[in-house]
Structure 1
Amino acid sequence: MRCVALDGTGGPDVLVPGTCSMPEPGHGDLLVRVRACGVCGHDLLARSGALAAGHGAVLGHEIAGEVVAAGSDVEVDLVGRRVALVQRIPCGRCDECAAGLTTLCRQGPGFYGEDVPGGYAEYVLASPRNVVPVPDTIPDAAAAILSCAVGTGWRALRRAGTAPGDVVLVTGAGGGVGVHAVELAKHLGATVVALTGTAAKEKRLLELGADAVLVSPDTRAVRDCVRDLGGRRGADVALELTGGPTFRTALRALGPRGRLVLIGNTEPGTLPLEPGLAILKELTVYGSAHADATDLADVVGLVASGAVMPVPARTWALEDASAAHAAVERREVTGRAVLVP
């Protein structure tokens, strides 16, 4: 089958089109024909060598497609169904899976693009535990990004206990997770402050529901904006999507009992937590991973009902994966880049 694999690590040019072995579904497996695969910032980190993917790896964890075959002992009839995939295939047997914490499973096949070949290819293997059926009203390019670009923010907002009337700060708001986090927070009844490093994305963020958009702001500007929007002593929730570049600003923008949810870290490294600030304000810092199958099912329902609309994706042919990576790196894409085999 056609695929795009890493020829080492480095810039976008290490993504090389070619062919690789067609996967064969074994015991408990599903074979999925990939109809679309999103390009996530995680992919860029993996390509650059900051994560576990190595030479020959096939990246891509934002996958939608059609189940075309099933291995032995697959009890659910999914063949012929359109599906969206959760990024990690859990085992279904370990203590974490038994507790419903499938994002923490490390006994299963693992994460697409690192532990198992990903969606920069024509076919992938999946499991009934990581697929969610998608109605025909949701296009392939939108379905591909539901788990990561939409579901990640949905899980984080729920983890923070976001409620109507909360002031929610979203950093990295112009990226794929960020634009949808803005939309989801607004859907939950929050007042939303969006932080972005690209002025060209301001108009779109306002259209998606942001009450204010700040471009590369300092801490004082963020706190003043939050106060003007009703957060008298700071924001109630901060979704931290970029990590190092904005972590201090987001933390200091929180009011008493504020909750920061750390979702992304674009510059892997140590983050500066200020103990005095956290103690005096009684702040809570959460980590939140990718969506699980329950989160993805929620998101599919929200999109199918029209309550939330995925930002239209910019698409590239599979063989043009390097061009898609370059465009994302240059911050030319609002929302998600999507590869279409």
Structure 2
Amino acid sequence: MTPTVPDTMNVAALAQLGPADAAFEAVVRPVPRPGPGEFLVKIAACGVCGHDALARRGELAATVGDVLGHEIAGVVVAAGSGDVADWVGRRVALVQRRPCGQCPDCARGATSQCRRGPGFYGDDLPGGYAEYVLADPLNAVRLPDGVADEVAAVASCGIGTGLHALRKARLEAGDVVVITGAGGGVGFNAVRTAKALGLGVIACTGDDAKVASIVEAGADRVLVRPDVAAVRGCARDLDRPRGVDAVIEVTGGPTFATSLRVLRPEGRLVLVGNTVPADLAIAPGLTIVKELQVIGSAHATRADLQEVIDMIDTKRLDPIRPRRLPMSEASTAHAALDERTATGRTVLVP
């Protein structure tokens, strides 16, 4: 039986740019109607990400009235054409960018680089701080019964981003990796994913209160605001006297210089995030002499999301369930993000 779709929906729209307090307001918008090849997803949970916080503060392209949110899971309730009708009734997790599936980037599997498709939720498209959103088979993965909605919501961005970066780092089981920003959503889940891949993990955080949680997530060593000597000491303890094999740099500016200096010769720094939007200073002499590599890593692809869902379903990866808040408390979720009081992810539930 096809669900009845209402004409309107509640959304938490961006009311003002700036601080989290009163940043969002409850408004009513029309429910979008799927066109050919796409379908309508009734949202079960939407994660709150650092990207959302940058948009809310006016550091990205968001404007008042926009609907943020790109970490989405739900159930398909309507199809725009017969070729996608078999998706109706399926639970899905979504990749944050809807690609075109036809450009050269899509052809080589680099869908995170596609700029011909509908775009990125919350930036180019109305996002998941709402009751409904449009999607299509190119950015949707069907969910097994054993994967909870709130975990599925963060599977692409919160978990898949870290997996994508670890793959970019070309690591093998037994290698040692540093993960910065390990108390945040991406970093925390990257710790768990790295352990699931058989890696040694040195986790870095700026908050003493998050150490116990990061240890529980599987880190071999946890350091709070470490200097180069502290990280190198942990690397020696893990049989890496010349430095670690790779760094997953989630924080950016505050830790970038240290991360570069703790790499072994021919080590890789994979840059995932930059919490203080500004240019980063690279040490050219060090990079040249040690033949280091600095690699950019964007968000997960559909293939990454599928791998994450498979890992969760087969119990190879056991992510911490995110904290749940009603959509009406979007400002509360953003305040916790700004204050760095939450470990891991928070999801909003319509």
Is 2:218 the partner of 1:209?
Answer: yes
Which residue of 261, 270, 289 maps to 1:252? 261
Runs (5+) with no aligned partner, structure 1: none
Q: Deviations over 1:217-258 (max 9, x none)?
A: 122211222122211100101000011111111111101110
3-state SS of paired residue (1:77): helix
CA–CA separation in structure 2 for the residues paired with 1:188 and 1:26: 40
3-state SS of paired residue (1:113): coil
Q: Is the 8 A contact 1:5 1:58 kept in 2?
A: yes
Structure 2 length as normaliser, TM-score?
0.96
CA–CA separation in structure 2 for the residues paired with 1:32 and 1:64: 8
Q: Is the 8 A contact 1:29 1:72 kept in 2?
A: yes
CA–CA separation in structure 2 for the residues paired with 1:213 and 1:264: 20
CA–CA separation in structure 2 for the residues paired with 1:188 and 1:257: 21
CA–CA separation in structure 2 for the residues paired with 1:150 and 1:223: 27
Aligned alpha-carbon RMSD (Å)? 1.0
1:74 deviates by 3.2
In the alignment, what sits opposite 1:297?
306
1:18 deviates by 1.5
In the alignment, what sits opposite 1:165?
174
In the alignment, what sits opposite 1:4?
12
Which residue of 333, 339, 348 maps to 1:330? 339
1:75 deviates by 4.0
3-state SS of paired residue (2:163): helix
3-state SS of paired residue (1:148): helix
Q: Which amino acid aligns with 2:55?
A: A
Q: How does 1:218-257 map to 2 (within 5 A)?
A: 218-257=227-266
CA–CA separation in structure 2 for the residues paired with 1:183 and 1:10: 33
Q: Is the 8 A contact 2:79 2:85 kept in 1?
A: no
Is 2:189 the partner of 1:180?
Answer: yes
Is 2:46 the partner of 1:37?
Answer: yes
CA–CA separation in structure 1 for the residues paired with 2:320 and 2:341: 14
3-state SS of paired residue (2:26): strand
Structure 1 length as normaliser, TM-score?
0.98
Which residue of 145, 155, 160 maps to 1:136? 145
CA–CA separation in structure 2 for the residues paired with 1:35 and 1:84: 10
Q: Is the 8 A contact 1:29 1:74 kept in 2?
A: no
CA–CA separation in structure 1 for the residues paired with 2:348 and 2:192: 23
Runs (5+) with no aligned partner, structure 2: 1-8
Which residue of 27, 34, 58 maps to 1:49? 58
The sequence identity of aligned pairs, in percent, is 56
Q: Which 4+ stretches in 1 moved above 4 angstroms?
A: none
Q: Is the 8 A contact 1:76 1:128 kept in 2?
A: no
